[in-house]
Amino acid sequence: MKLKEKINEILKSLKKLYPDAHCALNFKNPHELLIATILSAQCTDERVNMVTEKLFKKYKTIKDFANTDLLEFEKDIYSTGFYRNKAKNIIGAAKIIDKKYNGKVPKDFDQLLELPGVARKTANCVMGNAFNIATGVVVDTHVIRITEKLGLTKNKDPKKIEEDLIKLLPKEEWINFSHMIIWHGRKICIARRPKCEICKLNRICPSVAI
């Protein structure tokens, strides 16, 4: 099967399986999504949502994040792991957004990339889910694992994987594709023990193990 036919089959199946796939991180505005996404590195979205529920009641504006005490903030986000890096990055990003962008998260991929703790995955996530602008494909741990298993890429580097996916996917699918893959990665194609026997993609997956 040609790769283009394959991606269309995968898209069709995923849409049927996960018709309401969406960003699982809870947020009410762009800066909340930015912070939740930084916190989500190597941490479940469920845990991030537990932390941000309290966090976003304590810190309302970008200024609140920019002016908080580092050690206090580390405690506020402690259970998400990597808390020292994440605290430094979130406060650093908030200071830049406050000073340079007048407290509003820039609606610009390259400007997002300049913020500490923000690389392509986070910038694509914010552009897509906060602003509904498709700047690329979010390549996270699930997307890396599952697109490789499905034979959609042979690359290991997230940026190259993203380039491969951009070529394969219609632009209007860029944002939703990651949501559906992540849903699939959490429910079926689980890293430790993939449930290939009940996976709807098992007929077209080269890595199926039954």
Partner DNA sequence: CTCCCGATAT
Partner DNA sequence: ATATCAGGAG
The count of other CB atoms within 10 Å of the CB of residue 136 is: 22
Examine the residue annotation and report whether 98 is marked as an active-site residue of this protein: no
Shorter beta-carbon distance to DNA: residue 24 or 196:
24
Catalytic (active site) residue 140: yes
Report the Cα–Cα distance between both ends of the chain, in Å, rounded. Answer: 21
**How far apart are CB 60 and DNA at their closest, in Å?**
23
Reduced to 3 DSSP states, what percent helix, strand and coil does the chain have, rounded to the nearest 5? 60, 0, 40
Provide the minimum distance between the beta carbon of 79 and DNA in the complex, in angstroms, as a whole number. Answer: 4
CA–CA distance, 79 with 83 (Å, rounded to integer): 8
Select 1 or 190, whichever has its Cβ closest to DNA.
190
Task: Name, in order, each residue with C-beta under 8 angstroms of 132's C-beta and a sequence gap of 6 or more.
Answer: 175
Closest to DNA by CB, 84 or 160 = 84
Task: Identify which of 4, 52, 11, 36 has the alpha carbon closest to the alpha carbon of residue 179.
Answer: 11
List of residues contacting DNA (CB under 7 A): 22-25, 37-38, 40-47, 78-85, 89, 116-123, 125, 129, 138, 140-142, 145, 158, 178-179, 182, 185-186, 191-193
**Residue 153 carries which DSSP code?**
-
For residue 104, the minimal CB distance to DNA (Å) is: 20
43 phi and psi angles, rounded to 5 deg: -155, 145
- Among 175, 166, 95, 163, which residue's Cα sits nearest to residue 128? 175
Between 92 and 151, name the residue whose CB sits nearer to DNA: 92
Write down the least CB distance from residue 7 to DNA, Å. Answer: 19
- Active centre residues (catalytic): 121, 140
